[in-house]
Amino acid sequence: MSTTRWWWVRHAAVVNPRKLLYGRLDLPADTGDGTAVAALAGRLPRGAVWLQTPLRRTAETAAALLAAMGEAASPAVEPDLIEQDFGAWQGRPSREVYGALPETDPFWSDPAGQAPPGGESFDDVLRRVQPAIRRLSAAHAGRDIVAVAHAGTVRAAMALALDLDGNRALRLAVDTLSLSRIEGIASAESGSSWRVVALNLPSGTENMY
């Protein structure tokens, strides 16, 4: 039996006073809270495979964590783990975007299935991220994988482990600089399965494993 351990970190907060939907906008991360960074770094595994997305906020968060750990790993960039593309909604205040949708808009009954103009739906994110997780799990079977990614990516990982559809997965809270964990278990006798170890642990949470 082989167990592949995923350590999902949502990037540190970005400066966003206007509450914009930033999606794939390449905004920097605020990693200035050294105490929080050190606390999270202290519970990440040594000698792990490190992954980040093409957006700088994940690269900056990964760099801060690795520096706090004193590790010299170079995270691989995984485009398939990037945040949802909000299309024409990106860069606009969330209140403005959602306030403009009429009560009869299909978004309200099926938010995961609706794509913003020129963007992708959350169901599209599931179809992109989940095969990537399976691929990476096979490539690094039995290893620890630290993936610094986005709220949408972490929800997609949890949806895979818990067999959730997109609308149920959207109910999961994933805060900045939080840790979530899933494990992929492969067995010659029973095939493959998933289990959830932790969800949305804030950086100050006492280490329980």
* Listed residue (126, 191, 138) closest to 163, CA to CA: 126
CATH number at residue 106: 3.40.50.1240
Tell me what pLDDT residue 207 has: 45
* Listed residue (16, 29, 30) closest to 93, CA to CA: 16
Q: Tell me how many domains the chain contains.
A: 1
What is the chain's pLDDT, residue by residue, as a tens digit (209 residues)?
899 999 999 999 998 888 899 999 999 999 999 999 999 999 999 999 999 999 999 999 999 999 999 999 999 999 999 999 999 999 999 999 999 999 999 999 999 999 999 999 999 999 999 999 999 999 999 999 999 999 999 999 999 999 999 999 999 999 999 999 999 998 777 678 999 999 999 986 544 44
The answer to the question of residue 207 being in a domain is no
Domain hosting residue 173, numbered range: 2-202
The answer to the question of residue 209 being in a domain is no
* Listed residue (18, 1, 27, 6) closest to 195, CA to CA: 6
The answer to the question of residue 37 being in a domain is yes
> Position 173: which residue type?
A
Tell me what pLDDT residue 15 has: 86
Tell me what pLDDT residue 190 has: 66
Tell me what pLDDT residue 187 has: 76
